[in-house]
Structures are given as C-alpha cells and as structure tokens.
Chain A
C-alpha cells in the first residue's frame, strides 16, 4: 500500500476534524466516526507489520516530499524496527481511549474525541518522521491537544498542572531545537540520517547531548525533572492519563534511541554514568515515593517513572558493558530490554489508568482510602485489576517481566551493583502495587459507595479484555516483537558504540 505512513498520520487527523465539524449536536455520529477512525488506523498497522522487512535496519515505507525548500526540510517519513512497535502501540492504545469515553465525557464530547484523534496522528508522525524538523513539528504539535485535554476536561487543579506540563516539556524541547538547528547549519539538511552521520567534536557532542538530555529526560520523565507527571496525571481525564503514560512518555525513550545514542555517541559514552545514576535513582527513590501515595493515579504515575527508569538504564548501560567486559556481546540486550519495557509499560500503565477510570466513573474519587473490598461487588473488574497490578510488578508470563528481565541481565554484565539496584524493583514494585491492590480491591466492603458498585459493563469489559490479552501475549511470546527490532537494534548498537572523533 503506497503512502501507508501518511495515511496512518492523516487519517485520524482528518477524522478528528470531521468529528469537530459534526459538533456536539451530532455526537452519536461523531462517536462512531471516532471509533471507526481509531479502528481503521489500528487495522492499517497490520499491513505495516506484515510488510515490514525484518532483515534490514534500513528505513522502510519511505516517503519524501519537499516541505520547506528554503531550509532543506522535507516531509520525509520512514520507519525502522524501533518506530514500528511504537506506532502499533499508539494505534492500539487510542481505541480503548475512544471506547472508554463513550458515555463518560459529557462536556464538549466532539472536541474531546477530536483532540485524541488528532493527537494520535501527530504521535504516529513523531515515530515515523525521518526529517528532524518534521520530527520537531510533530513533537511540539502533539503537546497542544494534550494541553487542551488536561486543561478542559481535567480536575480542579488543572490549570496548575497544564502550565507545569507545558513549561516543562516546552523548555526541554527548545534546547533540542537549538541543537537541531546547530547541526543543520553544519550538515546542510535536516535528515536524521545525515545528523547521525555528521562528524562532531567532543565539545560539540557534549552540548548537543545535554540539550537532547533535557528534552528527552523531561518526557521520560527522569529524576529530577519528573514532578510534572504526577500532577498532570492526577488532573488529566482518564483518556489523557492513558495516552500520556502509554505513548507520550515513550517519546523520551524514543528520542534517546533515535538521537542521543547515534548522534552523540562519544558524549553518551562519556556521560553515561549520569544517565545510569538518574535511572537507578528513579527505580529506587521513586519506588519509595510511590509506596506512600494516597491517590491511586499518583501512585501509578510514580510507578511509571520507576518503570521508565529501566528504559534509560537499558539504553545507556551498553557503554558500561563495553567498558567492563571489553566486548559488545550482550549489550544489545539492554537496548532490547529498553524497547520491550516501553511497549509493555504502555500497555500496563494504560490499563491501570483505565482501571482507575472505571472506579472513578462510579465513585468519583481517586483516594485509596475511599475504597476497600471492591472485589465483593465487582469480581470481574477485580480480576483484571489484579492481573494488571501483577503485570506491573513484573510477573513472568506478563509483558512487564520481559523488559525488566532483559535489562537486569544486561546490567549484570556492566556491574553486579547496577543489576542489584535495578532488581530492587522486584521488591519495591510488589510493595507499592500489591499494597494498593490490598487496600482497594481486597477486604470487606468498606463503605456504602463500594457496596453500590456495579461490575464492568460490556464496553469496559472489551477494553480491559483486549489490554489483558495484549499483556499476556507479549509476556508469553515476545519473540515476534524482538524479531522486528533485531536488525535495527544491532545497527543502533554499532552506531552507539562507534566513535565520531
């Protein structure tokens, strides 16, 4: 299918504009249009996956049109093994968001659906852009719908949360833009491939690396620039939290893999301990902080930060592996682990936020203390919640295990202590997640509101069921996912290990 990537980007955006045009008065049609567009986008990832050549690291489904000739900027698209899974994840996670909103969103529903569909297109654009300026365009454009989603449909402190979210992410991005422009001046065009091939001195690399680090660390988010995330999650509506956790955080990890490692390999090697230290702090410090949260969404938000620590750890531990063993063998496992962790975290955190949404729609509280004994009145929901919670603790057989396992194995090659500190997540993750489950799901019925709860409706059942299937599938048989990534990861590893000096 020609222009498949363009269709994947612009189909949801066009549908979003269509929903806007239909307006709130025709919201029944608008809903079905949104669902159809989200499903069509998901279905279109099937030919993308099937047509993807898993034997090469070269960009595929390439499209290139002049965009701003004055700056040698092209509308250039193309995907490799690290973009493809993230695009599929984006298309997959938008469907539950649309379904979950069905009867829940009552104010300005048309704009709500439109925002998510447009955002879907823009996010797919981020993952498929092969021109840095186009990448930057999508990267920043994507903030606008999310800004609106939190700002319009958010909770009481939404203004504080949106401004914090916007300033944080925007501040980081500006430095990235500066770095991109600097390199454009040297390279003569914005193609990501030529930026990756551009020779840079160590001093230049350091500055560019730090600029990228700021941009991506905010998105991941890494300690200490993470505090916008709990606030944004708490205020965001359910769908916003799902997309934020499932896809937006992955932009940071994607950026590290797409830009930091291949564009500034020497600076990455030089400053890897900084990133590793921040990652381990994220795993442990944030794990403890998650333990004492009283708000379910905040707890899951902190858990997200801890889990994303494995992404950055896996990405940068490769340099320490080479340093410690003198060999490249096993380093790819860190990158594999980082990628799988991103996909898995997208599924699990999205599912957990949907679970909180199910409870919030009924009780209108996110406070753990307002629940207790939910299993008595919602046994089916409880089964899903327990499954996703266990996946969040990295139980083997669920997707949550795969990435953490690979990263821990890879870290051991670099140092026993990295592995030991990272493996603390086994204990901390179980503590904060299962303590949450104990207080919310198990026990006797705690109050009249819990007693009045009704179990999942068919709509919610489909959404959580699909996510559960995905979590289990990736956990039981991750081989296809790894296979798609393999040549790209190998290529990335050689780029990251090579020196530009």
Chain B
C-alpha cells in the first residue's frame, strides 16, 4: 500500500475542514459544500481501493509510523497507521456514510446560517474518526477518541442559542470524559506492562500481562490484564453509550439530524465496539473482563430498547434503538464474537444512518416537528422516504434476507453457543430484545407514515407527561400549511444510496466477513472461545442461512413485535393508552428513563457542586485564609499591640517593670539556693 495515499485518506477531510472553517466566508456556501464533499468523496474512493487491495488482492497489512510524536524515557510514542482488513472495512464504512451525510446536508441545512461551519465540523469529524480507526498505537487512538468526542460536542451544541442543546453537549462531553478516565488508565496500564504504546508490542505482551497482578490495597490485588481490559472497556462504555454511561446519547439528538446519522448512529458511537474488537488480543486473555462486557451489553440491549417504546420524538426513538443495537454489538464482543460485532456495526451503520436520514427527511417535511403524535399517513406524500424507511426498519428488526438479519442472528446464536459466565442472562436479553426492537421500530413506522393524518391538527400542548421534547425545537418555524412534500434529491439520493447496502450488504458479505476468514489476523480469538465458528459450521450460503432463519426463534419474536405494533398503534391505538394507564408504574419508570437522568441531575450534580462549595467556603476561606493566614496576620497584630504597650516611653512604666523584674529575680535566687 502506498503510504502517501493512506495519508491522504484522513488528511483530505482535514484540509477541507480547515479551509471551510477558516475561509468559509471567502469560498462561500457552495464552495464549502463542494470542497468538503469532494474531499470526503476522494477519501471514500481511496478507502474502497484499500479495501480492494486487502480483500481481493491479498495485500498484507500495513503497519508503520508516520512521525515520532515524542520520545520520553526511551518510550517512542508515534503517530502511525495500521491498515489491515478490520481498518479497511471501517474506513470504507466511515467515508461512505460520511459522504452520504455530506450530500444530504446540502439539502437539510440549506437555510441554516451556520452552513459552512457545519461542513467544516463534519469534515473534521471524518478526519478524527479516520485517525481513530487507522491508528497503530494507543496514543493516536486516544487522540482520535477524544477528537471525535470534541466534534460531537461542537455539533450537539451546533444551535448554540438553544438552552437544551448546550446542556446536552456539556453532558455528552462530561459523560464521555468519565469513560475516558477509565480509558486513559487502561492505556497507562498497557504502557506499564508493555513499555510501549504500539498495538504490536501490547498484543505480543498480552499473555505475560495476563500473569501479572496489580496490588489494590494491602492484601487485595487484581489480575493486571483484567484491570486493563475493564478500564479500556469503561472508555468504550462512554463512547458507545453503554449503561450507565448511555445518558448522553438520547440528549445528543439536540444536534442537527445529519450528525445524528453520522456521529450518533453510524460511526462515532461504534468507536467503542471497534476498539474492543481491535484489542481482541488483549481481551481474549481475560474471561472476567469479557463477562463484564457481555453483561453490560445485554443490559443495554434490552432495557434501552424498552425506552424506545414509550418515546414520541422520532429521533429519540431511533436513538434508543441505537443504544439497544450498540448493546447487541457489545454482547457479541463479550462472547468473543468480535467479527460478528463488527459485522453488525457495518450493517447497522447503513440501516441506522438510513433511518436517521429518513427521519430527517420527515422532519423537513413537517417543518422541524419531531413529535410522532403530530405525524401519520405520510407515506402518501413522501413515497421515497417511506419506502427507504421501511427498508431500514426491516433491516433493523432482522428480517431474513435483509442485512440486519445476518448480523443480528449471528450474534444471538453466538451468545447461545457461549458458556462464559453470564451468557444465559445475555441470551435472554438479546432474544427478548428482538421483540422490543420490532415493537418500537414499527410503532415509529406506523405512527409516522400510516394511520390518520394528525399533522393538520393545530399544535397542542402536551397534557400528558410525555418524554418527547419536540416542542422546544422551534429554531425554524416556517408555519404550517399545504401538504407535506417529498424532500429534494440531495436528501433522497443518500437515502437510496444507503437503502441498497441496507438490503444487500449482509447477504453479499456474510459468507466472507461473518463466517469466512475475512478478518484474518486482524481479530484474534482463542480456539476455545470461537463461538462464531460453531455457528458458522453448518453455514451453506447466505440464501440458505436466511431461509433457515425463518424457522428460528428470533424471527418469530420479531414477527410478534411487528404484530403487536400493528395492533396497538395502528389498529386499536386506544389500547396502547389503556395499557399505559393499566401499567402506570412501569410506564412512569420508562418515561423517566429508569431515573438515570434524575439521579445525575438531582443527586450527582448538586453533590459535586456542594462538595466544591463546601471545600471552598470551609477549606480555603474558612480554615486556610480565615484561621491560618488572616489569623496569623491578626495574631501578629495582637502581639504587636502588646509590644507597643510595653514600649510606652513612660519612664515610670519602665521603672515599675524593672522593680517587678528585680523582685522576681531576687525571689527566685532566694528560693533556689
């Protein structure tokens, strides 16, 4: 592989971002979108070329430094690229989705005053994400890791005059920082045991690290590799929004829809999944860490899906779906099915980006209304959006023959094959999760595209305590009027471009990527842990696998979910309300998102401020300044006052004290002979 071409893949978007960001006024709106689209397009082409080289031509992995970042105590920290099959797949997905989103943005953000700034940000994001996935060392990984977080912060707060947006972006950054706290400790652990930050050295040292232990207190200690892996996974929990660090992702929907598709569905949030898969040579040696990964993923997959069922904001429903699907990927990592996790990452990137962009198309037609209770029957007015959205939905719920089927079914079966601690619980979660997925997905589909046309009704206040926050989204009120229209071609073209892989990519690549030897050495699985091999043992082609899938439990769970959604939300909507009333407690818990936000806002944040205030008032101002510093000054003053009284200058006073002193001295001499 040509190193200069590899370098061009991330640097083209970076260059475009810098020019669009600094000289946005100079090149104008059209200049900005042409420049960034062309740059990302070129990156996409180059990525495809790389993919072809590593896949068809069998070019070996590229692993070399670009430049030395620093040398400290003979540890070389370098910026460098590792381009193997895992990387090639990731950069292709990232640049392809990014290109679609760039084109889509031309339509979606057409009226926005921050047009060029937006293009600059999304190109910068593409650069950061590429640096993350192309890295061959932990330092650069962390750079990309935090850089995507930075752009996410900037983009969630893109409409910076909205109070909700600037709370959401602060929250996203801080929650991600909690994850990064763990991540940096994991990196420090690797640096300690491998004395290098290069993946190559760290992976080579993994079996040795697995034998070391880290003392935690006088007697307690923990396996070093388990500690490192769990610390790294805490970072993944932040970035990939796993319970309990998931709280930022639903709120990130405050950002414009294109970035919800690109950053908060297809790419950035999957960085944690990618990272764990990349670190498979470390995680494989720690069953304990993998069990943690699995259980956290299972909790996320099931419980976050439930929240999608009660939400009324179209984007937030898809956001909860993203959380749930990230949970599926995490479960897959936990059972050592890294390849299946990455495969689901890929299919999910396409169909979830599609769903978000379709939702965005609906939001444009609805004049920036996001509450599904004010939609309905839109299929008649926006056929392309509706059809592509249906495709995305079918893929998401794992309908056989669609891409999502191959990835999700493989994960569920792999969990079923696993004997790792916690795998029974995880299996129950992922299986029930299929029902929930189908339920919320088709609820969303029916409420938006089918049933009565509720958008003609005058906007009403929320008389029930709904979760949707659609009503404070009025950044661009065009006023209502006229029938909803299909979106322009710059919006529908990316929908179509994403719909094609959403249908086909699974069937086309399952044989190689999922069950074949696509990943080669890029992913390491100990033979004893290789559940995917068991699942794929009787794999006889994509078609047969899908036909077989029609007979398996997940399909029937999904079908039941669709049927329920149809009955409760399309056929007899009053039943859904009755159910909400009947199961009030459960409904309340779900509407309050399991009280995570309540805990953070009402307990954690006031506690931190209270601690700060207490330390400041009691420690700095009370003890140190009050008692010690100013106290010292005052006691010096007091002492000075005493001295001043002594040196009064009156002769009789001196004489008096001399007589007293003489008397004391004489008395002492007389009593102590």
Chain A residues near B (Cβ < 8 Å): 164, 224, 227, 230, 285, 288-293, 329-333, 336-337, 373, 375-376, 386, 390, 393, 395-397, 401-402, 405-406, 408-409, 411-413, 416-417, 419-420, 423-424, 426-427, 430-431, 434-435, 438, 441-444, 477-479, 481-483, 486
A328 to chain B minimum Cβ distance, whole angstroms, is 9
Interchain CB contact under 8 A, B616 and A479: no
Binary contact track B69-82/A, C-beta < 8 Å → 1, others 0:
11111010000000
Q: Which of A290, A406, A434, A486 lies in contact with B173, CB distance below 8 A?
A: A434
- Within 8 Å CB of B216, what residues of A? 416-417
- Within 8 Å CB of A285, what residues of B? 615, 619
Q: 7 tightest A-B contacts by CB?
A: A332-B73, A412-B188, A288-B612, A292-B612, A396-B143, A291-B612, A442-B166
Q: With the chains together, A431 CA to B180 CA distance in Å?
A: 13
Interchain CB contact under 8 A, A396 and B142: yes
Binary contact track B58-74/A, C-beta < 8 Å → 1, others 0:
00000000011111110
Q: A329-B73, A486-B71 are in contact. Are A227 and B624 (CB under 8 A)?
A: yes
Q: Which of B139, B150, B177, B612 lies in contact with A426, CB distance below 8 A?
A: B177
B214: interface (CB < 8 Å): yes
* A–B Cβ pairs within 8 angstroms, 25 of them: A288-B615, A291-B612, A292-B613, A330-B191, A336-B72, A390-B150, A393-B177, A396-B142, A402-B70, A405-B184, A409-B187, A409-B188, A411-B188, A412-B189, A413-B192, A416-B215, A430-B177, A438-B170, A441-B160, A442-B157, A443-B163, A444-B161, A477-B67, A479-B69, A479-B70
CB-based nearest B residue for A167: B633
- Within 8 Å CB of B145, what residues of A? 396
Q: With the chains together, A406 CA to B147 CA distance in Å?
A: 19
The interface size bin for chain B is 35 or more
A144 to chain B minimum Cβ distance, whole angstroms, is 22
B665: interface (CB < 8 Å): no
Q: A292-B609, A402-B70, A427-B174 are in contact. Are A412 and B192 (CB under 8 A)?
A: yes
CB-based nearest B residue for A224: B624
B411-437 residues with Cβ-Cβ distance < 8 A to A are none
Apart from A227-B624, A330-B73, 5 more pairs, CB < 8 Å: A288-B611, A289-B620, A332-B73, A396-B147, A423-B181
Interchain CB contact under 8 A, B619 and A423: no
Q: With the chains together, A373 CA to B181 CA distance in Å?
A: 30
CB-based nearest A residue for B189: A412
A433 to chain B minimum Cβ distance, whole angstroms, is 10
Interchain CB contact under 8 A, B608 and A431: yes
Interchain CB contact under 8 A, A431 and B191: no
- Within 8 Å CB of A434, what residues of B? 153, 170, 173-174
Interchain CB contact under 8 A, A289 and B67: no
Chain B residues near A (Cβ < 8 Å): 67-73, 75, 139, 142-143, 145-147, 150, 153-154, 157, 160-161, 163, 166-167, 170, 173-174, 177-178, 180-181, 184-185, 187-189, 191-192, 195, 214-216, 227, 608-609, 611-613, 615-616, 619-620, 624-625, 628-629
Q: A373-B161, A419-B185 are in contact. Are A329 and B72 (CB under 8 A)?
A: no
Interchain CB contact under 8 A, B184 and A290: no
Interchain CB contact under 8 A, B143 and A397: yes
- Within 8 Å CB of B69, what residues of A? 477-479
B506 to chain A minimum Cβ distance, whole angstroms, is 35
CB-based nearest A residue for B71: A482
Q: With the chains together, A238 CA to B146 CA distance in Å?
A: 31
**Residue from the set A396, A405, A411 with the largest chain B CB neighbour count within 10 Å:** A396
- Within 8 Å CB of A330, what residues of B? 73, 75, 191-192, 195
Instruction: Decide if the interface of chain B is mainly helix, strand, loop or mixed.
Output: helix
**Residue from the set A290, A293, A430, A486 with the largest chain B CB neighbour count within 10 Å:** A430
Q: With the chains together, A41 CA to B600 CA distance in Å?
A: 52
B668 to chain A minimum Cβ distance, whole angstroms, is 35
CB-based nearest B residue for A482: B70
A385 to chain B minimum Cβ distance, whole angstroms, is 13
A399 to chain B minimum Cβ distance, whole angstroms, is 12
- Within 8 Å CB of A333, what residues of B? 72-73, 75
CB-based nearest A residue for B629: A227
Q: With the chains together, A386 CA to B160 CA distance in Å?
A: 13
CB-based nearest B residue for A435: B170
Q: With the chains together, A408 CA to B182 CA distance in Å?
A: 12
Q: A329-B195, A442-B166, A443-B163 are in contact. Are A290 and B177 (CB under 8 A)?
A: no
- Within 8 Å CB of B178, what residues of A? 427
